[in-house]
């Protein structure tokens, strides 16, 4: 995990909800991650997996100010959290759906979403073993059912009485797992072992 302080250092934007036009107006968690990675001012930096970035944006926008401030150090880890494993997105979405099912165990919709995520991740594990990449299919899944499953589950979690605690814990776990995946893949995290421009 990062060694960044719990509050933004001087010169970095103040954490805030939603997207911002300029760093002087503040920055959401993903905009902070992009700035720390030196990738401009965007809430979809190239160094973060799109599914993880989507989760981080919803958590950032849904929690209270104190929780958002406490999550700020995750920006450094989010800056380089893009596992290349094709099963990463359905596994992450499945984890969020499972967290929502704790709150709504009788939801058939969430149960269907969870089964679909498991089937997709299993299919991708077999495809990986056979060396069959299909990035277009992955993108279509993420932009279609994958995103919808994530959004449905997050709506349930955001309505919980202890939403801040649940969402913050879920994001911390997701970031740690993504960073572990990146490390297992043998990639050098941004800013480590090479000169920064």
CA distance 10 to 12: 6
| CA neighbor of 13 nearest in space, from 128, 3, 2, 33 | 33
| pLDDT number for residue 36 | 81
164-185 pLDDT, tens digit each: 999 999 999 999 999 999 998 7
Sequence-distant (≥ 6) Cβ neighbours of residue 27 within 8 angstroms: 12, 13, 14, 15, 16, 20, 35, 41
Query: Where do we find the tokens 């589950």?
Result: 153
* pLDDT digit string, tens, across residues 111-135: 999 999 999 999 988 776 555 567 7
The Cβ of residue 38 has, within 10 Å, a number of other Cβ atoms equal to 13
Both structure tokens of 123: 């299919």
CA–CA distance, 87 with 117 (Å, rounded to integer): 9
CA 94, CA 153: separation in Å to the nearest integer?
A: 9
Give the CB-side neighbour count of residue 5, counting CA atoms within 13 A: 5
pLDDT higher than threshold 70 for residue 195: no
Q: Is 27 helix (H, G, I), strand (E, B) or coil?
A: strand
Neighbours of 113 (CB within 10 A): 25
162 — pLDDT class (breaks 50, 70, 90): very high
Higher pLDDT, 106 or 126: 106
DSSP structure class, residue 24: G
- Cβ neighbour number for residue 114 with a 10 Å cutoff: 21
* pTM exceeds 0.75, yes or no: yes
pLDDT at position 45 is: 85
């Amino acid at each position: 995990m990062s060694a960044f302080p719990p509050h933004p250092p001087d010169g970095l934007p103040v954490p805030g909800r939603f997207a911002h036009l300029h760093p002087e107006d503040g920055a959401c968690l993903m905009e902070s991650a992009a700035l720390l990675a030196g990738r401009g001012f965007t809430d979809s930096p190239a160094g973060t997996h799109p599914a993880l970035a989507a989760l981080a944006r919803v958590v950032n926008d849904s929690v209270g100010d104190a929780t958002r401030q406490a999550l700020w150090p995750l920006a450094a880890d989010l800056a380089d959290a893009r596992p290349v494993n094709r099963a990463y997105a359905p596994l992450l979405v499945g984890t969020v759906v499972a967290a929502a099912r704790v709150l709504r165990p009788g939801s058939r919709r969430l149960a269907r979403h969870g089964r679909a995520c498991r089937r997709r991740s299993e299919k991708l594990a077999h495809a990986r073993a056979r060396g069959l990449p299909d990035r277009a299919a992955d993108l279509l899944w993420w932009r279609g059912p994958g995103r919808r499953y994530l959004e449905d589950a997050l709506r349930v979690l955001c309505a919980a009485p202890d939403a801040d605690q649940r969402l913050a814990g879920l994001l911390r776990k997701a970031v740690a797992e993504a960073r572990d995946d990146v490390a297992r893949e043998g990639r050098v995290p941004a800013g480590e072992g090479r000169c920064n421009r």
